[in-house]
């Protein structure tokens, strides 16, 4: 009985994604896909000419690191400096609100709020601070990815706050705080040298997984991002949905490499956190 | 406990074998049937149509009119599934690689998808010679019988005929550029009002602009010609890049979807949008989505006119029922309903001279377009759709030479 359940579980968790990965590899070497003509390494060789891919990878890393970095700074500040506020109604309930919305809804909300013809822009025009909506600064579909980062931070910081708050209680940091204060450490020293390292190390696997999810996010960068540079998932999807079927192998190759790369990152992070567990 | 275990094992096996339980149909046998046999076999079957579901008017036409009608006439349970272009092609390829009959029976396609489906031999046909209502269509009309310079040859059934139109807001744009030649100067004088969507309609605009620049539409007829493309696309990128800083957001980004551009237009952030359907402005104004001051026109010397089609999938499980649906969609009743600007506003593919006097009169007495140009007025402003390679190349090069250019 357990074996049946285990097989079913393995098929869902590992088998199907692995089959997809093998399929993508098959496309990338010309043995799968609508126009496959037999084994070839031409797409792998062409990879070095894909400069847009490198730009896309760098932009995605920048967005993922910035979003997760900002969100965790906000969450750490709240958990370490605003413990009382976190326990006072309605703050705990409000923290759950952004978590209730799908990412596309958050992206659309920010689009309506921050676009050139959005609510803030119209208010600014009505107040006479700008002449036309076009004078409003580019906060979405901007070169620095501010719109994408804002959306990701709005969705991530409540989750991180709840996570850190749980870990704070588990690690009995309040008691440690009293102890370090008794030993003469300042509030800032306790936060920097004791609490933050403990929370970050314990939360590391979740933070890395979240960063990977941001790296692979599709709907937020599609709505709030530019055509160039594009985040990886938008870049790959565009390749897979182009009008030219001959583009499919390269799209699958990039998707394959990205998946393998992220699997290695997850594996290494898991090993690292196991070795340095607190 | 044993019963529970057996149930779980059976469920697991059912999951594994579910995909292979569908019926595989032989295309030759399907096509060898007479129309009477097709009618008999197609009744009371389900049909899945994969189509673009991005327009509420089109969805209403399908849900409130077509589905009840085919149910009433043939007992067919018509289901629509979202998907277009390469999604259709990739679904069919995946099903074929898995050795499965298709979950899709028919699809709404146009030239570039037709080209791809022919590349993978994904269409059942010829089918139109079987269908009584196809006799009401003039297949010698180059805008109907030829799709992206490929002969239709009965492999897809014409459904509607449209032409690219520029939509503008008459309130903010009292004098829009009346030709492609006037467009660059206009954009320079009115920065931020215009942008090009980086998708199908945007590419149709670029193709029309390129043909206008060349000055001879015949250069783009027939098979793809590399030298023609290189010469005129280079000219096109020169013009586009010269005015790029004057586009919306200084040309630093372009909308990835037409719906996004429509939204920007509706919000007043840009003053122009585009449509592959010359009559779309009417239904968007009627819907209250576009302002009442929105108008559409075709710039000189013209824009691309083409037809959109319905194809039946080669591995369809219910090809006869799909043929009944296609035949109904080409019927005077269904075409008349579809052409009404208050319903969809999609121009008919029927040759009115082949209709009965009663049917013809109904078409001639349809409510007129209020905000879109009359078909008679733009009759001389139409280009044939060039071969599909022009589209694939323009799409790639627009990214390389415009979007990613410094």
| Residue A128, Ramachandran bin (φ over 0: left; ψ between -120 and 50: alpha; else beta) | left
- Cβ distance B396 to A227 less than 8 Å, yes or no, reads no
Is there a single domain that holds both residue B215 and residue B265?
yes
B51 and B131 belong to one structural domain: yes
User: Does residue B186 share a domain with residue B86?
Assistant: no
Nearest CA in chain A to B85: A243
User: Is B249–A138 a contact, with Cβ atoms under 8 angstroms apart?
Assistant: yes
Chain B interface includes A141 (CB < 8 A): yes
Contact between A8 and B12 using a beta-carbon 8 Å cutoff: yes
Question: A138 — contact with chain B (CB < 8 Å)?
Answer: yes
**Angstrom distance (rounded) from CA A162 to CA B182:** 59
Residue B196 belongs to a domain:
yes
As beta bridge partners, residue B47 has B78
Domain extent for A102: 2-275
A245 touches chain B (CB under 8 A): yes
Contact list in B for residue A32 (CB cut-off 8 A) is: 97
Same domain? B240 vs B385? yes
Find all residues with CB under 8 Å of B42, minimum gap 6, and list them. Answer: B74, B76, B318, B320, B321, B322, B323, B324
Please enumerate in sequence order all residues whose Cβ is within 8 A of that of B324, keeping only pairs 6 or more positions apart, or say none. Answer: B38, B39, B42, B43, B70, B73, B74, B76
Kindly state the DSSP code that residue B350 receives in the 8-state scheme: B
Q: Are residues B275 and B321 in the same domain?
A: no
pLDDT of residue B54: 84
- Domain count across chain A: 1
**Distance of residue A254 Cα from the nearest chain B Cα, in angstroms:** 17
Question: Is the distance from CB of B229 to CB of B251 less than 8 angstroms?
Answer: no
Instruction: Say yes or no for a CB contact (<8 Å) between B392 and A243.
Output: yes
The closest CB to that of A133, out of B252, B269, B404, belongs to B269
Give the per-residue pLDDT at B301. 97
Which residue ranges of chain B lie beneath pLDDT 50? Answer: 1, 3-4, 7-9, 11-21
Closest Cβ opposite residue B392 in set A115, A133, A244: A244
- Is B135 inside a domain boundary? yes
Q: Which of A56, B395, B239, A146 is nearest to B403 (CA)?
A: B395
In angstroms, the separation between the Cα of residue A226 and the nearest Cα of chain B is 5
One domain for residues B394 and B247: yes
Same domain, B184 and B131: no
Q: Which residue of B has its CA nearest to A241?
A: B86
Same domain (yes/no): B245, B385: yes
Whether B155 and B192 map to the same domain: the answer is: no
CATH at residue B263? 3.40.190.10
Q: Is there a cis peptide before residue A90, judged by omega within 30 degrees of 0?
A: yes
Contact at CB, B119 and A133, closer than 8 angstroms: no
Q: Which residues of A are less than 8 Å from B93 in CB distance?
A: 33-34
Interface probe, candidates A34, A107, A144, A218, chain B, greatest B C-beta count within 10 A: A34
Q: Name which of B15, B116, B404 is nearest A245 (Cβ-Cβ).
A: B116
Per-residue confidence (pLDDT) for residue A159, from 0 to 100 = 95
| Residue of chain A with shortest Cα separation from B247 | A134
CB-based contact (8 Å) between A119 and chain B? no
Q: How many domains does chain B have?
A: 2
Asked whether residue B298 falls in the same domain as residue B312, the answer is: no
CB-nearest to A228 from B5, B249, B403 is B403
Query: What whole-number distance in Å separates Cα of residue B271 and Cα of residue B192?
Result: 8
To the nearest whole angstrom, how far is the Cα of A105 from the nearest Cα of chain B? 15
Indicate the residue of B86, B254, B269 with minimum beta-carbon distance to A242. Answer: B86
CATH number at residue A206: 1.10.3720.10
Q: Are residues B237 and B141 in the same domain?
A: no
Give A244's contacts in chain B (Cβ within 8 Å): 392, 395-396
Residues shown for chain B: 406
Residue B245 lies in a domain: yes
Look at residues A9, A52, A8 and name the one whose alpha carbon lies nearest to residue A251.
A52
CB–CB of A117 and B12 under 8 A?
Answer: no
Q: How far A144 CA sits from the closest chain B CA (Å)?
A: 12
Residues 6+ apart with CB under 8 A from A10: none
Task: Write the DSSP symbol of residue B65.
Answer: I
Nearest chain A residue (CA) to B269:
A117
Residues of chain B positioned with their CB less than 8 A from the CB of A227: 198, 253-254, 256, 399, 403
How much is the pTM? 0.85
The whole-angstrom distance between A168's CA and the closest CA on chain B is: 42
From B403's Cα to the closest Cα of chain A, the distance in A is 7
Residue B4 in domain? no
pLDDT in tens, B98-141: 888 999 999 999 898 999 999 899 999 999 999 999 999 999 99
SS3 assignment, position A131: coil
Determine, yes or no, domain membership for B154: yes
Q: Is B268's CB within 8 Å of A228's CB?
A: no
Cβ distance of A7 and B12 shorter than 8 Å: yes
Shortest Cα distance, chain A CAs vs residue B66, angstroms: 29
Q: How far away is chain A from the Cα of B373, in angstroms, using its nearest Cα?
A: 29
- Mutation for A interface: B82, B90, B265, most A CBs within 10 A: B90
Q: Can you give the pLDDT of all 278 residues of chain A as single tens digits?
A: 688 888 888 888 888 889 999 999 999 999 988 788 899 999 999 999 999 999 999 999 999 999 999 999 999 999 999 888 888 888 888 889 888 999 999 999 999 899 888 889 989 988 988 887 777 888 888 889 999 999 999 999 999 999 999 999 999 988 998 999 899 889 889 999 999 999 998 999 899 999 999 999 999 999 999 989 999 999 999 888 877 888 889 999 999 999 999 999 988 888 887 777 66
Residue B7 lies in a domain: no
pLDDT score for A132? 77
Q: What residues have CB less than 8 Å from B305, skipping those under 6 apart? A: B143, B161, B162, B163, B164, B382, B383, B384, B385
A71 and A153 in contact (C-beta within 8 Å)?
yes
* Domain span including residue B237: 163-305+379-403
pLDDT at residue B352, as a whole number: 96
The tally of CA atoms less than 13 A away on the side-chain side of residue A215 is: 19
- Are B97 and B223 in the same domain? no
């Amino acid at each position: 009985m357990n074996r049946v359940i285990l097989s079913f579980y393995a098929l869902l968790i590992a088998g199907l994604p692995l089959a997809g990965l093998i399929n993508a590899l098959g496309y990338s070497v010309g043995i799968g896909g609508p126009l496959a003509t037999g084994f070839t390494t031409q797409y792998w060789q062409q990879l070095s000419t894909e400069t847009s891919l490198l730009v896309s990878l760098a932009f995605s890393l920048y967005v993922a690191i910035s979003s997760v970095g900002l969100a965790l700074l906000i969450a750490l500040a709240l958990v370490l400096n605003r413990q009382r506020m976190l326990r006072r109604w309605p703050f705990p309930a409000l923290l759950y609100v952004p978590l209730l919305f799908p990412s596309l809804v958050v992206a659309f909300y920010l689009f309506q709020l921050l676009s050139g013809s959005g609510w803030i822009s119209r208010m600014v025009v009505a107040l006479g601070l700008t002449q036309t909506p076009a004078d409003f600064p580019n906060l979405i579909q901007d070169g620095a990815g501010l719109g994408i980062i804002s959306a990701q931070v709005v969705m991530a910081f409540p989750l991180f706050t709840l996570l850190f708050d749980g870990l704070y209680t588990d690690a009995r940091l309040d008691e440690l705080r009293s102890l370090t204060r008794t030993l003469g450490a300042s509030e800032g020293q306790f936060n920097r040298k004791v609490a933050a390292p403990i929370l970050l190390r314990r939360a590391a696997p979740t933070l890395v997984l979240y960063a990977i999810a941001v790296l692979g996010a599709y709907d937020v960068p599609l709505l709030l991002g530019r055509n160039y540079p594009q985040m990886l998932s938008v870049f790959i999807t565009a390749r897979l949905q182009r009008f030219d079927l001959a583009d499919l192998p390269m799209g699958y190759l990039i998707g394959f490499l990205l998946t393998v790369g992220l699997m290695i990152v997850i594996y290494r992070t898991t090993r690292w956190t196991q070795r340095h567990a607190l | 406990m044993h019963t529970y275990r057996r149930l779980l094992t059976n469920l697991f096996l059912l999951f594994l074998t579910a995909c292979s339980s569908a019926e595989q149909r032989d295309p030759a046998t399907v096509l060898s049937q007479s129309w009477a046999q097709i009618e008999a076999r197609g009744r009371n079957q389900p049909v899945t149509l994969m189509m673009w579901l991005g327009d509420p008017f089109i969805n209403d036409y399908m849900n409130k009119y077509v589905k009840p009608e085919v149910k009433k006439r043939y007992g067919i349970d018509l289901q629509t599934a979202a998907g277009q272009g390469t999604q259709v092609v990739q679904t069919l390829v995946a099903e074929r690689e898995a050795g499965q009959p298709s979950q899709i029976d028919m699809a709404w396609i146009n030239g570039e998808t037709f080209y791809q489906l022919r590349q993978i031999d994904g269409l059942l046909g010829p089918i139109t010679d079987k269908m009584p209502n196809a006799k009401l269509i003039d297949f010698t009309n180059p805008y109907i019988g030829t799709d992206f310079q490929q002969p239709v040859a009965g492999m897809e059934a014409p459904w509607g005929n449209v032409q690219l139109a520029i939509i503008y807001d008459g309130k903010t744009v009292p004098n829009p550029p009346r030709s492609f030649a006037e467009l660059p100067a206009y954009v320079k004088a009115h920065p931020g009002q215009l942008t090009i969507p980086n998708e199908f309609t945007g590419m149709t605009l670029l193709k029309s602009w390129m043909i206008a620049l060349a000055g001879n539409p015949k250069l783009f007829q027939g098979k793809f010609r590399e030298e023609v493309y290189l010469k005129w696309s280079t000219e096109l990128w020169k013009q586009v890049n010269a005015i790029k800083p004057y586009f919306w957001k200084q040309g630093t980004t372009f909308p990835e979807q037409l719906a996004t551009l429509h939204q920007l237009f509706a919000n007043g952030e840009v003053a122009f949008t585009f449509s592959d359907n010359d009559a779309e402005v009417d239904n968007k104004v009627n819907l209250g989505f576009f302002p009442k001051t929105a108008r559409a026109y075709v710039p000189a010397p013209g824009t691309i006119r083409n037809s959109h089609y319905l194809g039946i999938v080669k591995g369809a499980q219910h090809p006869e029922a799909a043929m009944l649906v296609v035949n109904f969609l080409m019927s005077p009743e269904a075409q008349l309903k579809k052409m009404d600007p208050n319903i969809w506003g999609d121009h008919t593919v029927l040759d009115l001279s082949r209709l009965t006097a009663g049917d013809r009169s109904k078409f001639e007495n349809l409510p007129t377009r209020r905000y879109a140009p009359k078909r008679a007025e733009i009759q001389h402003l139409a280009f044939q759709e060039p071969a599909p390679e022009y589209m694939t190349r323009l799409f790639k090069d627009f990214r390389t030479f415009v979007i990613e250019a410094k």
